[in-house]
């Protein structure tokens, strides 16, 4: 049995993966480059999905380039998650992390007021799995629809004071304080957190990888 290389800087992704794979079989090897393709100007779901999958694929190629032929690794897993909301005109918009300067509070406040309140948005994760020895690759995009309560305003000042939105795609974390705004999730809950385990339960066995019991 080889090892599964998780190409990620996110501790949360490793924690989720350890629910399916024995911790001793997981190595973390982040991509060398932190530069990623952006979503500027993309307003259709097809264009956004294609770009998202391309990002996960490029991360996978980056990690593969770090592995020597003598390495005992078997699989390389990379993923990328974004929040996609629709505006008043029905165009899709990818919400990344809030700005790092002091404007982040007003940016997140605007997202909750204008794009989240009383509506649903999409948490989408692109997965890329590659067998280092054979080059076989499987890719998938998982969507979850997240509904947010109508009356976000009474909680916004408190939520922004927690500073949880900083560094979070879309300005919230389902596993954190942001959960108080969410009324329903349709689809994979772990996908919203950052790694869709239901998809991996299907994909890993296709490489002969045993799931944790």
Of 27, 80, 114, 157, the catalytic one is: 80
Residue 20 has phi, psi (to 5 degrees) of -110, -30
- Please report whether residue 200 resides in a domain: yes
- Please report whether residue 213 resides in a domain: no
Classify 95 as helix, strand or coil: strand
The 10s digit of each residue's pLDDT in 43-101 is 899 999 999 999 999 999 999 999 876 677 789 999 999 999 998 888 899 998 899 99
Number of structural domains found in the chain? 1
The CA distance from 29 to 34, in Å, is 13
Average pLDDT, the chain: 93
CA trace torsion 152, 154, 160, 164 (10° rounding): -60
**80 is an active site residue:** yes
CATH (domain of 170): 3.90.950.10
Range of the domain at 120: 3-207
Q: Do 7 and 188 form a contact (C-beta atoms < 8 A)?
A: no
| Pairing status of strand 120-131 against strand 73-86 | antiparallel
Whether 3 shows a pLDDT value over 70: the answer reads yes
- Please report whether residue 100 resides in a domain: yes
Whether 27 shows a pLDDT value over 70: the answer reads yes
The 10s digit of each residue's pLDDT in 174-189 is 999 999 999 999 999 9
- Please report whether residue 212 resides in a domain: no
Label residue 203 by pLDDT band (50, 70, 90): very high
């Amino acid at each position: 049995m080889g090892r599964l290389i998780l190409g990620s800087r996110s501790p949360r992704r490793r924690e989720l993966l350890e629910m399916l794979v024995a911790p001793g079989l997981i190595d973390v090897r982040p991509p060398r480059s932190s530069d990623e393709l952006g979503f500027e100007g993309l307003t259709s779901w097809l264009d956004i999905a294609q770009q998202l999958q391309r990002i996960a694929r490029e991360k996978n190629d980056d990690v593969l380039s770090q592995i020597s032929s003598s390495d005992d690794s078997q699989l390389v897993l990379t993923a990328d998650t974004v929040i996609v909301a629709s505006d008043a005109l029905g165009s899709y918009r990818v919400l990344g992390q809030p700005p790092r300067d002091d404007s982040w509070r007003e940016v997140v406040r605007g997202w909750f007021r204008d794009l989240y309140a009383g509506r649903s948005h999409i948490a989408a994760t692109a997965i890329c799995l590659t067998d280092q020895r054979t080059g076989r690759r499987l890719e998938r995009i998982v969507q979850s629809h997240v509904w947010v309560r109508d009356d976000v305003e009474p909680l916004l000042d408190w939520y922004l004071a927690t500073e949880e939105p900083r560094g979070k795609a879309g300005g919230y974390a389902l596993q954190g304080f942001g959960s108080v705004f969410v009324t329903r999730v349709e689809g994979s809950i772990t996908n919203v957190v950052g790694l869709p385990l239901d998809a991996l339960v299907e994909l890993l066995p296709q490489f002969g990888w045993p799931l944790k019991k």
